[in-house]
Structure 1
Amino acid sequence: MCLGKVYEGDDNKALLEDVKSLEKVGNKWVFTSIFGDTIELEGELDAIDFGNSKVVVRKPTA
Structure 2
Amino acid sequence: MGTGEALVGIGFSHLRRHDNPPLKAIETENGYQLHGHIPWITGFSFFETVLAAASLDLLHESF
- TM class, shorter-length: under 0.3
TM-score, scaled relative to structure 1:
0.25
The higher relative CO (CA closer than 8 Å, separation ≥ 6) is in 2
TM-score, scaled relative to structure 2:
0.25
Structure whose CA Rg is larger: 2
Q: Which has the higher helix share?
A: 2
Q: Which has the higher strand share?
A: 1
